[in-house]
Structure 1
Amino acid sequence: MMSNERVLFVDHTGQIGGAELILLDVVTSRQNASAFLFETGPLSAALAARGLKLIISQHGSGLSRFRRDSSVLSALPLAGRLAAIVVEIARAAWEHDFVYANSQKAFVLAALANVLVRRPLIWHLHDIISSAHFGAAQRRMQVLLANMCAMRVIVPSEAAAAAFVDAGGRRGLVEVVPNGIDLKSERTLRSELRQRFGLPAGPLVGVFSRLAPWKGQHVLLEALARLPDVGCIIVGDALFGEQDYAARLRTMTAELGLVDRVHFLGHRNDVPSLMQAVDVMVHPSIDPEPFGRTLVEAMLSGVPVIATDAGAAPDILERGRAGTLIPSGDPRALAAAIASVLTTPEQVATQIDYAAQRARAEYSLGRMLDTIGAVITKVRLGAVA
């Protein structure tokens, strides 16, 4: 996706979550690109390492803690700071050909800046716009601004596209671009990885995502209470004001008598290796996910997958052919699925092979970058016309 267009990438956080991992892939081959961030952090360092010019807001520190399901009224005390950020984005956009907003907060403020400085605006929407994640006023504002200001809205799945349209978004704006994953994968014996990471030798499941109520780690804990011989690693940490939930998970672990079997590993940079160390990867979200990066990573790592039958997971797992689908928020069904996967290795082996083939064919990094590059070219030609 090499190009000379001057693109201003905008993100609201300095942390690295799933959306930011995609952003880091998107910017890698961009020339003459800049990144406008509300605050510094690991993301700013990673973007600088990729050669981008960094522009850090003087007014955005701490705004990432403003939850996306908060009411619009709760933002009123921040109106002055938000207006100042709009002006900062407009000034930065003046020196660029495109603005590429990588989050909901970034898009809203970039769209307002678009009123001051007209530049083609692309919104990479990594969320499902629904009442589970956003208040009614926020949904109306997002969709109104998208319909008025965005030239394209990139979404990672048909589930995310349908939610955007159901909320009132124009279908003609939407480009479905599945997230791409680097396909390089070195296989290591599970026993060697267990020894390297100090993990137990018995049956082991893993969940890999940030700690948040809608991610459903508590459902997995309740399922484990029904599986006395199964251990678990929980990889990820609270990022956006969700520390109370992280504390709740630890309390639940003690109350359910799981302290000896559940291992909280926090944020890790060696997730692919940790995935290969487990017998099953669980994706227990209780609300529909717009994508499921860890699903694809597990498929590429040769690990059987169990996921909630909602959002993008059914598409990624091809309605159960490439993994096991279970009802949302059902610890009994999750426990049964884990037990089934652990006790049917021959059936699971066939599923694993198919899942790896599907992941390589449908969710490669090169395919994602080529498609996004084509979207940017389409926007450029439309802007010129």
Structure 2
Amino acid sequence: MIEKRILFVSYTAVLGGGELCLLDFAHAYRDSSEVVLLTDGVLKTRLEELGVKVEVLPSSRSLADVKVSSGLASWKSIGDLWRLGRQIAQKSQDFDLIHANNQKGFVVSAIARLFGGAPVVWHLHDILTANIFSPTNRKIAVTLANWFASRVIVNSQATGDAFIACGGKRQLLRTVYNGFDCAKFDRINDRQATLREELGIPRDRPLVGMFSRLSYWKGQHILLEAVRELPDVHVLLVGDALFGEAEYTEKLKNIAAQPSLKGRVHWLGFRQDIPALMKACDAIAHCSTAPEPFGRVIVEAQLAKRPAIATMGGGTGEIIDDGVTGLLIPPNDPHLLTKAMQKIFSDREFTKAMVEAAYIQAQTKFSIPSVCQAFEMAITGI
């Protein structure tokens, strides 16, 4: 099989779930492909470390100011979008297709198609819901997809269903889950007592980890409320605010400082040693208050052989079979989260069986080779 020459296009250069997915695909196709970023940042450094050819085409401040929740503000950036579209069209002449990794990157790539650019694949990592995307931006994105995209790759069936509900064409869709390097987790020893000591966490206390940027919709406050009722349980929060959510971070700090939680919440910010940190935990919580497009942290927990508790909605139900490969609870329910943690900590046989089943699933369904094969099938015929 001849490897496709792919021009990957991404607006943002911070490391969210979509960008981590891009790292995997860009690395897999590094010998024949290239990445174009429309903003500079840590993603560029990570790509270069992986041996991926990367170029930054800087966008203007007007494009940076456009939010997915905004409406007609998008028109302020039309000149910049047009300029970038021309540049991408010219650059794409040496490639078989353009892979747009986010909404702004897709809009630029669709404009590139107008100027004779290569066929466009939109990799949709977000559920197009009203609470995140404005009606205008949803309409623009779906209309451009129907007109200019050769494929729309979605990270879960739930993401695809939302695309169709917004008027997207079903025939464009292909589901390709996020992929994971299973070996990263297998190389880490299951005993992380030394790491716990370094973090100041008692060995004999249950530890629940949450791995996500600090954001209201990620639900760190739900976990803190749930742990109030479990006086022996400690919490590990890995991640930080990415998009100016300082007010929410302050709220979390205030909750953690209350007498019922004081000394039991451990803040680590962003870390690279995720596999080791997960294996230092006894359980992993995923508390999103809105439907999650996929849920990378859940799969990572499964690969780390740690029980995962996640909220229902979106793609989580495609990763967790409740009671078999993890536990699912309704969103915004600290009481049920408390009960789920109690179940995991008290019923060791149940937890062991669940962890083993989840590990086998993650190794087969979400490995990099499996996902790359699905990706190849998705772009066949373009």
State whether TM-score is above 0.5: yes
Distance 1:354 1:259 in 2: 35
Distance 2:371 2:323 in 1: 23
SS at structure 2 position matched to 1:88 = helix
Counterparts of 1:90-239 in structure 2 under 5 Å? Answer: 90-184=89-183, 185=186, 186-201=188-203, 202-239=205-242
Post-superposition shift, 1:95?
A: 3.5
Counterparts of 1:251-262 in structure 2 under 5 Å? Answer: 251-255=254-258, 257-262=260-265
Counterparts of 1:7-156 in structure 2 under 5 Å? Answer: 7-30=6-29, 31-60=31-60, 63=63, 66-69=66-69, 71-156=70-155
Distance 2:322 2:25 in 1: 29
SS at structure 2 position matched to 1:320 = coil
Greater CA drift, 163-172 or 220-229: 220-229
Distance 1:180 1:154 in 2: 14
AA aligned to 2:197 is: Q
Alignment-derived partner of residue 327 in structure 2: 324
AA aligned to 1:284 is: C
Give the 3 Å change call, closer, same or farther, for CA 320–84 of structure 1 in structure 2: farther
Post-superposition shift, 1:35?
A: 1.3
Alignment-derived partner of residue 362 in structure 2: 359
Is the CA contact 2:63–2:80 (under 8 Å) kept in the aligned structure 1?
no
Is the CA contact 2:62–2:77 (under 8 Å) kept in the aligned structure 1?
no
Give the 3 Å change call, closer, same or farther, for CA 281–322 of structure 1 in structure 2: same
Is the CA contact 1:68–1:134 (under 8 Å) kept in the aligned structure 2?
yes
Greater CA drift, 57-66 or 36-45: 57-66
Structure 1: gaps (5+ residues): 380-385
SS at structure 2 position matched to 1:297 = helix
Post-superposition shift, 1:143?
A: 0.9
AA aligned to 1:136 is: P
Post-superposition shift, 1:61?
A: 6.1
Post-superposition shift, 1:298?
A: 0.7
Alignment-derived partner of residue 335 in structure 1: 338
Instruction: Answer yes or no: is 1:282 the counterpart of 2:281.
Output: no
Greater CA drift, 248-257 or 263-272: 248-257
Greater CA drift, 168-177 or 237-246: 237-246
Post-superposition shift, 1:235?
A: 0.5
Q: How many residues align?
A: 377
SS at structure 2 position matched to 1:189 = coil
Give the 3 Å change call, closer, same or farther, for CA 319–230 of structure 1 in structure 2: closer
Is the CA contact 1:59–1:84 (under 8 Å) kept in the aligned structure 2?
no
Is the CA contact 2:26–2:35 (under 8 Å) kept in the aligned structure 1?
no
Moved over 6 A (4+): none
Instruction: Describe the superposition over 1:338-382 as per-residue Cα deviations: whole angstroms up to 9, x where unpaired.
Output: 122111112111111111111112111110012112323332xxx
AA aligned to 1:51 is: G
Instruction: Describe the superposition over 1:265-287 as per-residue Cα deviations: whole angstroms up to 9, x where unpaired.
Output: 11110111101111110000011
Give the 3 Å change call, closer, same or farther, for CA 149–241 of structure 1 in structure 2: farther
Post-superposition shift, 1:76?
A: 3.5
TM-score by length of 2: 0.93
Distance 1:306 1:62 in 2: 40
Is the CA contact 1:187–1:301 (under 8 Å) kept in the aligned structure 2?
no
Distance 1:58 1:342 in 2: 50
Post-superposition shift, 1:220?
A: 1.0
SS at structure 2 position matched to 1:141 = helix
Post-superposition shift, 1:135?
A: 1.2
Structure 2: gaps (5+ residues): none
AA aligned to 1:45 is: T
Report the identity percentage.
39
Post-superposition shift, 1:130?
A: 1.1
Distance 2:346 2:67 in 1: 42
Distance 1:124 1:20 in 2: 11
Is the CA contact 2:6–2:99 (under 8 Å) kept in the aligned structure 1?
yes
Alignment-derived partner of residue 382 in structure 1: none
Instruction: Describe the superposition over 1:13-35 as per-residue Cα deviations: whole angstroms up to 9, x where unpaired.
Output: 12111111111110113223121
Is the CA contact 2:81–2:107 (under 8 Å) kept in the aligned structure 1?
no
Distance 2:335 2:321 in 1: 23
Give the 3 Å change call, closer, same or farther, for CA 256–331 of structure 1 in structure 2: farther
Match of 2:245 among 239, 242, 245: 242
Instruction: Describe the superposition over 1:137-168 as per-residue Cα deviations: whole angstroms up to 9, x where unpaired.
Output: 11111111111111111111111111111111
Post-superposition shift, 1:63?
A: 4.7
Distance 1:66 1:273 in 2: 37
Post-superposition shift, 1:301?
A: 0.9
Instruction: Describe the superposition over 1:69-120 as per-residue Cα deviations: whole angstroms up to 9, x where unpaired.
Output: 2x22233433333333333323322343211001112112211221112321
Distance 2:62 2:48 in 1: 21
Distance 1:111 1:330 in 2: 41
Distance 1:33 1:27 in 2: 7
Is the CA contact 2:201–2:234 (under 8 Å) kept in the aligned structure 1?
no
Distance 1:92 1:208 in 2: 37
Is the CA contact 2:88–2:117 (under 8 Å) kept in the aligned structure 1?
no
Is the CA contact 1:64–1:240 (under 8 Å) kept in the aligned structure 2?
no
